[in-house]
Amino acid sequence: MFYVSDRTAITAETIGHSLIAQFEGSPDYREVTIPYVDTPEKAIAVNARINAAAEADGETPLVFSTLADPQTRAGIIESQGLVLDLFHVFIEPMAEALALEPVIKRTRSHRISNLSSYEARIGAIDYSLQHDDGARIKDYDNADIIIVGVSRSGKTPTCLYLAMQFGIRAANYPITEEDMESSTLPAPVAPYPERLHGLTIDAKRLASIREERRPGSRYASVEQCRIEVRRVEALFKSFQIPYINSTNTSVEEIATRVVQTRGMERHSVL
């Protein structure tokens, strides 16, 4: 699988991964990412690599590409690979629907096209970092969402993804044993019931994650994890906090569900 682009190739990788996931039992494959293929000459060099791979393996390479310039695209489209190019397929019908000609500027995607939304996103990352793990609990007024859960249940990556991908100011607050024994919501988050979203996790998985941090500790024992998980789920239920189990769920999936459950607007900038 080749990912070829005149820019970062992140879109090409994303497309390739989405598509290959639809096939089971596909043979093992190697992945080669080639960004910044922005001249016909570079494309011809890539063509040679694709053909060399085809000949070495006796298989058809799959080439996922995002090459805006038709001339550059022409450099690889005749290769021995199966070239699946996003622009090649979709630009023309879009141009017709918009009644506009594409500008074919290689420099457009992944530049900062909208400064204010880019700044909002960087601001969200800053905010989420500053409000990680219960730090600065006094400033939750500005949070779009507050992720709650026991220690090591996946709060931090979730918040960073929410900030990075969706421009959402996501704080997180760790639920302690003390919090779980109380019959009220923890004081710092109590004023914001409608902004809370819970994370839970299977106790065994939690124990193995904690074991890496503090091997052999009570904190990392399966028994302790079981108790905490049971109690935190009871707390979520009694305060009607929506929650999601992070055990087999990627941060992309968790973040998307949080946004949907809480009816928030997402501002993907990529």
Interacting residue with a second copy among 56, 97, 138, 194 (CB under 8 A)? 97
Are residues 86 and 11 in contact, defined by beta-carbon separation less than 8 angstroms?
yes
- Interface region with a second copy, contact rule CB under 8 A, candidates 121-129, 137-145, 171-179, 189-197: 121-129
Strand order in the sheet with 82-85: 32-34, 2-5, 62-66, 82-85
Is the Cβ of residue 152 or residue 179 nearer to a second copy in the bound state?
A: 152
Q: Kindly write out the interface string for residues 133-162 of this chain, putting x where it contacts a second copy by CB under 8 A and - elsewhere.
A: ---------------------x-xx--xx-
Tokens coding 171: 């704080």
Is residue 71 involved in binding a second copy (CB under 8 A)? no
Is residue 214 involved in binding a second copy (CB under 8 A)? no
Is the Cβ of residue 155 or residue 195 nearer to a second copy in the bound state?
A: 155
Tokens coding 168: 């959402």
Q: Cα dihedral sign for 118, 265, 86, 80?
A: positive
Interacting residue with a second copy among 43, 46, 53, 68 (CB under 8 A)? 68
Are residues 169 and 215 in contact, defined by beta-carbon separation less than 8 angstroms?
no
Alpha-carbon distance values, 223 to 19, 218, 226, 227, 233 (Å) = 41, 8, 5, 6, 16
Q: Which of residues 5-64 bind a second copy (CB under 8 A)?
A: 7-11, 13-15, 17-26, 33, 35-36, 60, 62
Tokens coding 50: 């694709």
Q: Is 173 in a helix, a strand, or coil? A: strand
Least Å distance, CB 187 to a second copy, is 26
Interacting residue with a second copy among 41, 55, 105, 234 (CB under 8 A)? 105
Least Å distance, CB 107 to a second copy, is 10
Least Å distance, CB 39 to a second copy, is 16
